Chains A and B, each alone.
Chain A
Amino acid sequence: MKKIINSYAIWGFLLVCILFNVVLILSIGIDPYADYVKKVSVHTGLQLGERFNQKLTAFVQGENLKNDNSEQLVSETNETETNFLQNEDQKQYNQEQLASETNETEANLSQKESQKWRNSEQFYQESLIQETTEVSDVFDGYDTGKIADTYVQTFRLKGKLAENMRNKYADLQKIADEKGKHDDSLSLYFAGSTYGQHHKLFFSVMRSIIIEGVLLSVLIVLFSIGYENSNRIEDIVYSSKAGRPIVMKKLIAVVVTGIFFYLLLLGASLGLYFSVNDYSGIWQSNVSSSFNGIGDIIMGFRPFLTWHNFTVLSYLFATIGVSLILILCFSLMGFVAGICIRNSYVGFFALFFVNALLVTVTAILPPDSYFLFTLMLSPICLLIKQPVWFTDGGFDILWKNFEIRGVGASVVVMAIIVVVAAIKFRKREII
């Protein structure tokens, strides 16, 4: 662990990842409407409905009154100033005239800006009112069976595959009905900016962080496992009392270190994101809000229907939780590559190639292949599917809670492979 902590390369890569995320977050920008919605939510709460509309109306009226009063105050202040200047000495006529004209221009400018601000806030108010009064519960009468039928017909699924697909959406129907009963979709989130904000955080930023975390953890593992080989002290290490079994102790150390660096990356990146995009007041919104959604080329845009009830905060934590297990899977993969291929660089490219091959295979397999659906539970495919974790997952996912099943199965499979690799390593000759 000390070798990794002291490695400039690892820290350098971490820094590059953080810098990339800084650029990404800053380039995405801030949505002022989302900011406005967050500000309003403090007064109105997050649950849409009659009470929300009343509170919103009251808030808007209050805001407008405040704005009108402050405008009048500005106008009166400017008038007093103008009169005062007009009563000055004649000898300073030119200066007074100039001063008067300048003040008049400033008064006009501040009025225009104020007008502009009022207009934009007015626009936000009207938008919010319209969106929240017109919103309906998307889960009332929502039919997930149609999704199943469409997928089955489009991809000509037969037999067990068709049955599994229909069963998945039959289970999802129960979830939709439950959500409809509890009005889960009538959640404010960021109103009309919900899809954009959700997409920013979970599609762009989190995906970037998780991919960087995977690369970081794999590099840490390969660096550590290959350290003796690259420094040519394998002979001394493996003939010492510690011997070949030391690689298993290393495994624990590198997994812990990989997770530590991932959490550093996560903390720095999300820390910046939430300092730029204030989510306070929005955390308890339901991610299955009517304003949120996912889409695919077959079904188009549809509600963001999760298997479990998630607030924005719990969905974020759940995503982080699954990502940690995913990173563990990739660390184990890196470990196997490291002890099977003694050169760390070759090991990295081998790992990259294997995962690229997996992705390629999923792209070319026929959609009615059971093998395809199984491959979709592999770590690399789960990584690609990260933005739709905890939802039905789309046409290429056959099981509910695919991300939990996937990381669970991957950890078990990788653990078995690790044990086999370690046993083979004990019998491998160090030439």
Chain B
Amino acid sequence: MLLVNHVTKNFGKFTVLSDLTLEFENGVYGLLAPNGAGKTTLIKMLTTLIFPSSGEILWNGNEIVKLGENYRDLIGYLPQEFGYYKNHSPFDFLMYLSALKGMEKKAASKRVEELLELVSLSDVRNKKMKKFSGGMIQRVGIAQAMLNDPKILILDEPTAGLDPKERVRFRNLISSLSKDRIVILSTHIVSDIETIANHVVLFKDHKLYCDDSPANVCRTLVGKVFETQDISSVKEPYLLLTERQEEGYTITRYVCEGKGQFDAKSVVPNLEDVFLYVYRDEVLE
């Protein structure tokens, strides 16, 4: 178990995360929050790149910084801004990283081939990465995160740059991996978390807002989310969520604390509704 125990992180006088406590066990955890909320800060503390100002992060009861390479050997990390050696091929790059991860050469070679196959980059295994598209680079990033078959897989914005087809492939991959490891996923793409996460972690005002299953998180807005074709007729205060076109009509989705209006349809809230509601700027009167 990975335990974040009353962790606070300050950068000078600015508090990024305040008294955060989280437990991670096997499964997929989606970190959902707007930019600047502290997701990457938490992730960097989990990967020992930065250190808590107070509190501790424990792996099976032991402080992760003190565990040193024994802990780092368990993690696979895809950073938000994934860098690479432009003049390396994906095969060479992954072999280099496998050496850094302490893998034996023969085993690493086999593993690299498997991963390149998994992320559909076998055909370009020897091509220089400076010629790759953004999506291909991201797939190399995902592959390197899984090189050492990590117990804790930490992915920061992993689907950035992936097209819908690749994103679906990625979700299926993560789902298959999550059975016997901890997967921590930080993303703005709500649909990624909705489909694969067992837990949704929301931050607000530098604190933990909620840590629950997607269904339970959505349940907080049951009876408050409506759809209507005529938003102007809504008299009570509401928060505009989304609009879509359907059969020539504009369907507006909104949150209303009150009963809504008689011709509005109450709908099942989804995670995006919760996200927009929790991180709302203002309510339309």
A interface, CB within 8 angstroms of B: 231-243, 245-246, 427, 429-431
Max chain A CB contacts within 10 Å: which of B44, B73, B100? B100
B75 at the interface (CB under 8 A from A): yes
B101 at the interface (CB under 8 A from A): yes
B97 A236 Cβ-Cβ under 8 A: yes
Residues of B within 8 Å of A243, CB to CB, are: 48, 68-69, 72
Out of A231, A242, A427, A431, name the residue touching B84 (CB < 8 Å): A231
Residues of B within 8 Å of A245, CB to CB, are: 69
B48: nearest chain-A partner, CB-CB: A239
B69 A236 Cβ-Cβ under 8 A: no
Residues of A within 8 Å of B83, CB to CB, are: 231-236
A430 B49 Cβ-Cβ under 8 A: yes
Max chain B CB contacts within 10 Å: which of A237, A241, A246? A241
B89 at the interface (CB under 8 A from A): no
Interface flags for B84-111 (1: CB within 8 Å of A; 0: not) read 1110000000000100111000000000
Residues of B within 8 Å of A241, CB to CB, are: 69, 72-73, 100-102, 148
22 pairs from A and B in contact (CB 8 Å cutoff): A231-B83, A231-B85, A233-B85, A235-B44, A235-B49, A235-B83, A238-B49, A239-B47, A239-B72, A239-B75, A240-B72, A241-B69, A241-B72, A241-B73, A241-B100, A241-B102, A242-B69, A242-B100, A427-B51, A429-B49, A429-B51, A431-B49
Known A231-B83, A233-B84, A246-B100; contact A239-B77, beta-carbon cutoff 8 A:
yes
Known A231-B83, A240-B72; contact A431-B101, beta-carbon cutoff 8 A:
no
Report the separation of the CA atoms of residues A236 and B148 in the bound assembly, to the nearest whole angstrom: 13
Out of B47, B51, B69, B86, name the residue touching A235 (CB < 8 Å): B47
Residues of B within 8 A of A (CB-CB), count? 25
Q: Which 6 A-B pairs have the closest CB atoms?
A: A232-B83, A239-B47, A235-B79, A233-B83, A429-B50, A430-B49
B178 at the interface (CB under 8 A from A): no
Interface flags for B3-44 (1: CB within 8 Å of A; 0: not) read 000000000000000000000000000000000000000001
What 19 new A-B contacts, CB under 8 Å, besides A231-B85, A232-B81, A427-B51? A231-B86, A232-B83, A235-B81, A236-B79, A236-B82, A236-B100, A238-B48, A238-B49, A239-B47, A239-B49, A240-B97, A241-B72, A241-B73, A242-B69, A243-B69, A245-B69, A246-B100, A429-B51, A430-B44
B138 at the interface (CB under 8 A from A): no
Instruction: Give min CB distance, B199 to chain A, whole Å.
Output: 22
B85 A242 Cβ-Cβ under 8 A: no
Residues of B within 8 Å of A235, CB to CB, are: 44, 47, 49, 77, 79, 81, 83
Report the separation of the CA atoms of residues A341 and B44 in the bound assembly, to the nearest whole angstrom: 21
Instruction: Give min CB distance, A411 to chain B, whole Å.
Output: 29
Chain B positions 206-222 with a Cβ under 8 Å from a chain A Cβ: none
B101 A430 Cβ-Cβ under 8 A: no
B186 at the interface (CB under 8 A from A): no
Instruction: Give min CB distance, A249 to chain B, whole Å.
Output: 11
Max chain B CB contacts within 10 Å: which of A233, A243, A427? A233
